[in-house]
């Protein structure tokens, strides 16, 4: 099997008596480069919607996908007691060990970014860099921002959501239809949805056990085990090049991704102006260019990495933040890099080479 001209190998990794499905695009790395391991969101959304990231193999590295236990082509044990952050961190380590990914970049999208942060805080050896796409470091902030966005939905949609949440009938079609209004504004603004995203949505709808156990019935009604999860204070322990990404209309709002950027020493921060929660689908070329350039900087020998090119500010009004003004106080950090423009660097810690729920 090939993808974009690259050979593809698929298989299973044994994990806790179950099987985790994997796909590797490409055969080897060019000198000095490391493979990239892609962590999907959800939890429980499977890898399908991230398949376009296989194109990163064109930068001279393998791109590795896997379906986390409980979804996609991996085994799906029906036991809610299994699902925890610790299990998925352990599974990530098992995949790395089985595939020999001793030196690797992690690219986590949404929940996958949360998982990547957990692995990095745990001082997982051999990590080269982190790409944290559309990911929070605090579920309390996530819920606050999601409910702020929810407040912008039509009144009748808000009433429907509230009715079913209060009645405990969030599995009814009317509730699901109401959440789709939010999805089309803040998860993916493309119409129609890309086929790969439709497959992720379909499998999540068929078997939502992991999502419901970890998160809850919707993106803004978080009552599962991730409720109250917060890694913000520990991000300062991470000493890796890191790229924080988000969309202008993202449910992981600029306030959320800026909070990650502020807490993560030396990180870069990029906002995609025409995207919501899926900039890899909504602005695929710019997303790929941004990630490839960052990976190159992260792989450069210390002291030899060049700074990202600074371009003149785009014409028109200045970037305006979305979210609590306290996060954007006067005299604070610069505005984030626009998807076609500048890089913002963190100030906490050592210099990065020029410098992702």
Residues assigned a catalytic role: 110, 250, 277
Q: How far apart are CA 136 and CA 203, in angstroms?
A: 24
Per-residue b or e along 232-255, where b marks 16 or more CB atoms closer than 10 Å to that residue's CB: beebeebebbbbbbbbbbbbbbbb
- Closest by CA position to 161, among listed 141, 142, 183: 183
- Which three-class secondary structure string do you get for 158-224? HHHHHHHHHHCCCCCHHHHHHHHHHHHHHCCCCCCCCHHHHHHHHHHHHCCHHHHHHCCCCCCCCCC
**CB-CB neighbours of 347 under 10 Å:** 9
Q: Work out whether strand 344-345 and strand 18-25 pair parallel, antiparallel, or are unpaired.
A: unpaired
Q: At what angle do helices 85-99 and 111-121 cross, to 10 degrees?
A: 80
* Angle formed by the axes of helices 155-167 and 173-186, nearest 10°: 130
Q: Residue 173 and residue 177: Cα distance in Å, rounded? A: 6
The first and second tokens of residue 142, run together, are 């996530």
Distance between CA atoms of 4 and 287, rounded to whole angstroms?
18
Rounded Cα distance between 289 and 246, Å, is 15
Structure tokens that stand for 269 in this block: 């921060």
């Amino acid at each position: 099997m090939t993808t974009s001209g690259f050979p593809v190998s698929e298989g299973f990794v044994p994990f806790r008596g179950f099987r985790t499905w994997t796909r590797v695009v490409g055969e080897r790395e060019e000198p000095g480069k490391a493979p990239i391991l892609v962590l999907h969101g959800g939890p429980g959304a499977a890898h399908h919607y991230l398949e376009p990231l296989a194109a990163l193999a064109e930068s001279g590295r393998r791109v590795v996908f896997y379906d986390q236990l409980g979804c996609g082509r991996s085994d799906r044990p029906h036991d809610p007691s299994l699902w925890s952050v610790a299990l998925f961190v352990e599974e990530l380590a098992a995949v790395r060990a089985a595939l020999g990914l001793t030196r690797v970049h992690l690219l986590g999208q949404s929940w996958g970014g949360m998982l990547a942060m957990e692995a990095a805080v745990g001082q997982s050896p051999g990590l080269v860099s982190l790409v944290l796409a559309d990911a929070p470091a605090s579920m309390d902030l996530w819920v606050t921002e999601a409910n702020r966005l929810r407040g912008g939905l039509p009144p009748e949609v808000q009433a429907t959501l509230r009715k079913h949440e209060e009645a405990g009938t969030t599995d009814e079609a009317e509730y699901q239809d109401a959440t789709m209004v939010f999805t089309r504004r803040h998860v993916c603004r493309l119409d129609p949805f890309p086929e790969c995203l439709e497959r992720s949505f379909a499998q999540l709808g068929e078997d939502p056990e992991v999502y419901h156990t970890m998160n809850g019935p919707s993106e803004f009604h978080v009552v599962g085990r991730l409720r109250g999860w917060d890694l913000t204070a520990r991000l300062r322990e991470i000493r890796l090049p890191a790229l924080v990404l988000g969309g202008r209309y993202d449910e992981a709002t600029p306030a959320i991704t800026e909070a990650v950027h502020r807490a993560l020493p030396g990180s870069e921060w990029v906002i995609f102006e025409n995207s919501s929660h899926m900039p890899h689908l909504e602005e695929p070329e710019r997303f790929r260019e941004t990630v490839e350039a960052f990976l190159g900087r992260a792989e450069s020998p210390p002291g030899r990495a060049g700074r990202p090119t600074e371009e003149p500010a785009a014409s028109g009004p200045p970037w305006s933040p979305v979210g609590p003004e306290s996060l954007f106080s006067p005299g604070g950090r610069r505005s984030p890099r626009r998807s076609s423009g500048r890089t913002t660097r963190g100030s906490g810690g050592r210099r990065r080479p020029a410098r992702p729920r």
